[in-house]
Structure 1
Amino acid sequence: MLTIDPFVAGESRPSADRGVLADVHGEPLADVGLAPRLAAQAAVNRLRRSADGLPPEPEVFRTAARLFATAELDGESADAYVHRTVRGTGLASTTVRRALTDMATEIEELPATAAADLPAAQLRPTHRVHRAPSGRVFTAVMASNHPLPHASWVQPLYHGYSVAVRPGSRDPFTPRRLAAALLSAGLPPEKLAFLPSPHAVGSFLLNAADRGIIYGNEQAVSTWTDHARVATRGPGRSRALLDVPLTDALLDHLTTSAAFDGGTRCTNLSAVLTSNAVHDTAAALAERLARVPVLPVAEPESVLLVVGRERADALRRQMAKLATELTDHSSPLYGDDFLVDLGDGSFLPRPMVLAADRADHPAVGTELAFPFVVVAPWSPADGIAPLRPSLVLNLLTDNAAITGQALLDPSVRKITDGAVLPWDLVPGMPHDGNYTEFLLDAKGVVTPAG
């Protein structure tokens, strides 16, 4: 069993407060030292004492990206990392391997992202804009649904912050490996702290920092929604407006949007609003999603995640409640249970599609950590209201008026037009606002002419 302890400024800080991380089979996977509040306070003080706001050399991040994706770090190979993360999170191995390369690419693209996110700095020969970190210490409170969001705390490091990371309870492995890659690449150790800790300590760390980000469910992020210093990344509630005939190609598109990476991304589709026949649409999508293969997570073709018995029981209760309010188009395709008992203590949730009888049904926008979609009716008279809030709104429509309304609506964070996947990004494309501008302050600099 792997032993994981907090570390601050490159130094391990073993903790007497410990917890055993069980894998999805219920077997012990890691012995995790938990930083209590006093240790967290000491870590923040240590980071702040040495914080200088100076960005590390760009080569540090290029090297770290390569090491993270391929190297043996702290005695752990990339394959061993994938194996542990799969066991801890239940994600398919293909999802975790893809995250290794995707995160490496995202880190390598940090210079391009910063350049694309910010307007030109030189306004005139004598007038320019200088951008510097909005503070010295940054806190990242992470979840365990997917490894890729961990790139979000590398970006503050790139801009000169010192960073404290509180990992998700099921995935301390990704930030531990990423930190090892950065330190091996030459990141000054005093810029980083890794602090597995209880939820209350995560809140303390956010309050103690100058800027921060938190990932989690509605309950986890709601406290921070109106805090200007904290970026929140909660349920995405990504939706599609289907206002054209449903073709095989669009069914494939909607299926991929819902089921990619096992439905664990915040950008996965969770609601379809349609002017077509609701139950026909839901039945067609349910049938197509039922074709997603049921495979052990270690198989190369695996897509769907697995969960432990406790999470499986919670999902079963939640689906039973929803089925009393909505029409279930998936369960009849599976027999008795949408949860496949794998016989090893773990369960595989198969995709679920339910239909609502009205666009404003409270279940529209429900987001679960597996492929789950609610289909509901929509007409032009409904306007933009049923389509918000949405991290990504996929517009499958020729209605120019609704496109214009979506562009003006502040609760719609990104729009994809046509059969474009929700996570399609290039450097400079906002994900949930301009993150670089959140991290930096702009200062005017004027110099003498000539």
Structure 2
Amino acid sequence: MTVVKADGPVYLDALGPNGPYRTRVPSSVTDVSGTEVARLSLVPPVYVDRALAVLRKAEAVPTAGMDTLLEAAAEEFATGTIGGLGVREYEHLVSRTSGSPLTVVRTATRDTARFVSLARASADRGRPRGAARDSGDPALGSGHAVWARRGEVFAVNASGNHPGVHRLWLEALTLGYRVAVRPSRREPFTPHRLVGALHRAGVREDQLVLLPTDRQAAGALIRGADRAVVYGGDDLVARYAHDARVLPQGPGRTKILVTADTEWREYLDTIVDSVADEGGTACVNATAVLVEGDPAPLAEAVADRLSRLPGLPPQDTRAVLPVCPLDRARALDSYLQKVAAGTRAWLGGDGIVDDLGDGSAVLRPAVHQVDHAGAPQLRAELPFPCVWIAPWNRSDGIAPLRETLVLSFLSRDHALLDTLLAEPTIANVYAGDRPTHWMAPGVPHDSYLSDFLMRSKAVVGFE
């Protein structure tokens, strides 16, 4: 892996199957103020095609000693100097380019390292109990099932909103896939560091590659892989909805439901944390709260809490809100004002742009109350703490709660809980005092990734 530090920007090379690759005219990576901080080598479609061909011929990472390898990679990622960047330098760059508060990035470093070390065990949690790991299981002699890959090469078209998006593809590597990662041009440092850490720990260059590309080459990457995960908005989800090889990761539209038998004031800390933790940028941050009864008192309380959050540059250790270029902040503010027309603004009605004076701006929180549970605003998801608070009653049913990545359920109604668990479009239900952004190795994010990558194949072995 090569990251060359200079007086100016650092250089981030592509990490191909034959080693680092640097283009003559790399792409500029800028921080939130518009200052160039890195130069990223973008590879053309022909390079992508050749890299995938090499990956397809390579052996899988051996299962023997994999946990030791992963532990070594986790330690490298969390503490090592990789390609000339120490962990503090890496975290500073991620904070300045993504606009995520530095404390969020530092927490993500520790959490990602934990997910790396437990990736094999986490992937195995998704294996059906009736399926053996491989053909060496003696139970296969009398007829059994074995867990088998649906392909050989897995591609990742990553987003740059949070470092944690790179925890998912680790499981594919432990399941025997060879993996090609396309980093976000907004924040390429995390995948560059993670791939480098895995290489240093023993994963071969023809088993795992980092392929920065433009959009044209990204299409070649997805077409050339056996399985792929892509991140984006509703347009992207619709584009790949009927492609069985592609797992689209779209908006989370995470919600909280508070029923009348629950005193929401006891859970106010958790509600606010669900909205604003991680800077409010993750798909697991709550963007809608539905309240059985009058939503105004809860909206007022949430707005009061969020209004106190300071507006600071992302690299300040006291920062808790996201930062972006000033022109993008103004565009987001304009969009919010249009979407929020007709709602009651408890916070953010007079704007969410906090100009830092260096070409960047803090995105301040917004809290709006809507008239009914079917209001279209509940589908609006923005990259900062922005929450829509709506009334809900039993006659609304679960329709307003559908298409939700995480639903926090603050209620004692067990029959309603069972109904929500049975709803196919609600991916996760957290009952009780747990924030919507809670995650742990081995617990599915949007089902187990192995549901998409693996299948159970009937096998009768030698007697």
C-alpha distance in 1 between matches for 2:154 and 2:47: 17
* Identity across the alignment (%): 34
Answer yes or no: is 1:366 the counterpart of 2:374. Answer: no
CA offsets per residue over residues 72-107 of structure 1, 9 Å max, x none? 011110001001111110001111111111011111
Among 154, 166, 181, the residue aligned to 1:138: 154
CA offsets per residue over residues 151-208 of structure 1, 9 Å max, x none? 1222111111111111112111001100110010011111122111112322221111
C-alpha distance in 2 between matches for 1:427 and 1:340: 36
**Aligned residue for 1:32?**
40
C-alpha distance in 1 between matches for 2:150 and 2:318: 44
| AA partner of residue 364 (structure 2) | R
Identify unmatched segments of 5+ residues in structure 2: 1-8, 133-138
**Aligned residue for 2:323?**
306
Is the contact between residue 17 and residue 36 of structure 1 (CA under 8 Å) also seen in structure 2? no
**Aligned residue for 2:460?**
446
Answer with 371-380 or 430-439: which moved more: 430-439
| AA partner of residue 103 (structure 2) | T
C-alpha distance in 2 between matches for 1:8 and 1:340: 41
CA offsets per residue over residues 270-319 of structure 1, 9 Å max, x none? 00111121233222211121122333322333211111123212211112
Q: Give, in angstroms, the shift of residue 329 of structure 1.
A: 0.8
Is the contact between residue 10 and residue 192 of structure 1 (CA under 8 Å) also seen in structure 2? no
SS in structure 1 opposite 2:148? strand
| AA partner of residue 172 (structure 1) | P
Equivalent residue runs for 1:48-447 within 5 Å: 48-52=56-60, 55=63, 57-58=65-66, 59-120=68-129, 121=131, 126-244=142-260, 245-331=262-348, 336-447=350-461
C-alpha distance in 1 between matches for 2:263 and 2:240: 39
CA offsets per residue over residues 123-161 of structure 1, 9 Å max, x none? 687344322322111100000000011112221111111
Answer with 358-367 or 179-188: which moved more: 358-367
SS in structure 2 opposite 1:277? coil
Is the contact between residue 123 and residue 171 of structure 2 (CA under 8 Å) also seen in structure 1? no
CA offsets per residue over residues 369-398 of structure 1, 9 Å max, x none? 111100111100111000111001111123
SS in structure 2 opposite 1:227? coil
The change in CA–CA distance for 1:247 and 1:441 in structure 2 (over 3 A counts) is: closer
Is the contact between residue 90 and residue 305 of structure 1 (CA under 8 Å) also seen in structure 2? yes
Identify unmatched segments of 5+ residues in structure 1: none
**Aligned residue for 2:6?**
none
| AA partner of residue 321 (structure 2) | L
| AA partner of residue 369 (structure 1) | P
Q: Give, in angstroms, the shift of residue 250 of structure 1.
A: 1.6
**Aligned residue for 2:53?**
45
Is the contact between residue 122 and residue 171 of structure 2 (CA under 8 Å) also seen in structure 1? no
Is the contact between residue 144 and residue 169 of structure 1 (CA under 8 Å) also seen in structure 2? yes
C-alpha distance in 2 between matches for 1:2 and 1:21: 9
Answer with 115-124 or 137-146: which moved more: 115-124
Q: Give, in angstroms, the shift of residue 52 of structure 1.
A: 4.9
Q: Give, in angstroms, the shift of residue 55 of structure 1.
A: 4.7
Is the contact between residue 365 and residue 374 of structure 1 (CA under 8 Å) also seen in structure 2? no
Answer with 404-413 or 222-231: which moved more: 222-231
Is the contact between residue 140 and residue 459 of structure 2 (CA under 8 Å) also seen in structure 1? no
C-alpha distance in 1 between matches for 2:145 and 2:65: 21
C-alpha distance in 2 between matches for 1:392 and 1:130: 31
Is the contact between residue 236 and residue 248 of structure 2 (CA under 8 Å) also seen in structure 1? no
C-alpha distance in 1 between matches for 2:231 and 2:64: 26
Answer with 126-135 or 207-216: which moved more: 126-135
| AA partner of residue 29 (structure 1) | V
Q: Give, in angstroms, the shift of residue 447 of structure 1.
A: 3.6
Q: Give, in angstroms, the shift of residue 432 of structure 1.
A: 0.6
Answer with 315-324 or 287-296: which moved more: 287-296
C-alpha distance in 2 between matches for 1:444 and 1:98: 43
Is the contact between residue 53 and residue 133 of structure 1 (CA under 8 Å) also seen in structure 2? no
C-alpha distance in 2 between matches for 1:443 and 1:17: 48
Is the contact between residue 270 and residue 433 of structure 2 (CA under 8 Å) also seen in structure 1? yes
| AA partner of residue 293 (structure 1) | P
Among 22, 41, 52, the residue aligned to 2:30: 22
C-alpha distance in 2 between matches for 1:383 and 1:53: 48
The change in CA–CA distance for 1:171 and 1:105 in structure 2 (over 3 A counts) is: same
Is the contact between residue 154 and residue 180 of structure 2 (CA under 8 Å) also seen in structure 1? yes
C-alpha distance in 2 between matches for 1:257 and 1:386: 19
C-alpha distance in 2 between matches for 1:56 and 1:138: 21
Is the contact between residue 55 and residue 161 of structure 1 (CA under 8 Å) also seen in structure 2? no
SS in structure 2 opposite 1:414? strand
C-alpha distance in 2 between matches for 1:448 and 1:19: 56
C-alpha distance in 2 between matches for 1:9 and 1:39: 10
C-alpha distance in 1 between matches for 2:272 and 2:192: 33
SS in structure 2 opposite 1:163? strand
Q: RMSD of aligned C-alpha atoms?
A: 1.9
C-alpha distance in 2 between matches for 1:31 and 1:351: 32
C-alpha distance in 2 between matches for 1:275 and 1:183: 52
Q: Give, in angstroms, the shift of residue 236 of structure 1.
A: 0.5
| AA partner of residue 452 (structure 2) | F
